[in-house]
Amino acid sequence: MTAYFDTLTERLRAHGLPAADIDGIVADLSAYTAESGADPEEEFGPVDDFARRLTPKEDNDGPEMETETWRWTADAFHERARLNEFGDQGWEVERVDAFGHFISHRDRARPQRWEYLRTTAGRDRPPAAEGWEHCGNWMIFDYYKRPKSAMLGPAGELPAPPTASSGRVFWSKRFYLWIGGYLVLLIVLLTGVLGPSGPTIAISLLVTVAVMVLWVIVGQRRARNREG
């Protein structure tokens, strides 16, 4: 056995391949080079690379390593600005899920910059001939994307993807104000209808709703962790 196959055996062992599989692979490759007379390094390439390619786990991880996936959401007051900001960082929205999350991915090797449009569902569809593609729908909104290369050519690509944001939820100040205003209105209305006990009932209702929302969020997070 040559030094190449000795090293290959070590590398495959380090990658966690079962000993019996390693013996079979190395015996097979040795027989191959013995018959062909080829130099193993020339035939199979650098030993570290070859060991990686022979390891199923590494093989399966390949495509995932090339593409990053990110699930995030933002409120309707500023999601267009966020979409275009993240689109400029190479994130392409693949779809919008039922909870309003933008399921996005980014090509690590050759990231494209993307721009986005939002229209009222079923209306004002931007022209496909100009590169717009439908990428999702949520409630009354349709979302469209276009690679910036459609207008800029190679300048529409990123030289390298910037660090991905660690956040997943982007609420705007206007959204918090809107929620606050809505709650105040609810309390005022309930006080008007139910008298002095209105605020207590309103707060009880709000706490119940908050607990339910929290329960849904935790459930989703657990489901995602199980998937991951």
Partner 1 sequence: MPADRRASWLKGVLDLLVLATLTEGESYGYEIAKTLADAGFGQIKGGTLYPVLNRLEEAGLVVAEFRVADRGPGRRYYRLTDQGRRTLAEQSELWLVFDESVRTILSKEAGR
**Contact positions vs partner 1 (CB under 8 A):** 92, 107, 110, 112, 127-131, 133, 145-147, 149-151, 153-154, 156-157
Residue 173, SS3 per DSSP: helix
CB of 148 to partner 1, least distance (A): 9
Number of neighbouring beta carbons within 10 Å of residue 143: 22
Select 85 or 157, whichever has its Cβ closest to partner 1.
157
Residue type, 150: A
- Nearest distance, CB of residue 217 and partner 1, angstroms: 30
Please choose, from the candidates 115, 111, 92, 110, the residue with its C-alpha nearest in 3D space to the C-alpha of residue 102: 92
Smallest distance from partner 1 to CB 111, Å:
9
- Output 6 or 61, the one with its CB closest to partner 1: 61
Pairing of strands 133-138, 102-107: unpaired
CB-wise, 128 or 177, nearer to partner 1?
Answer: 128
In terms of Cα–Cα distance, which of 64, 69, 50, 45 is closest to 11? 50
- To partner 1, the closest distance from the beta carbon of 30 in angstroms equals 27
Of 101 and 148, which CB lies nearer to partner 1 in the complex structure?
148
The structure tokens 């007051």 sit at: 77
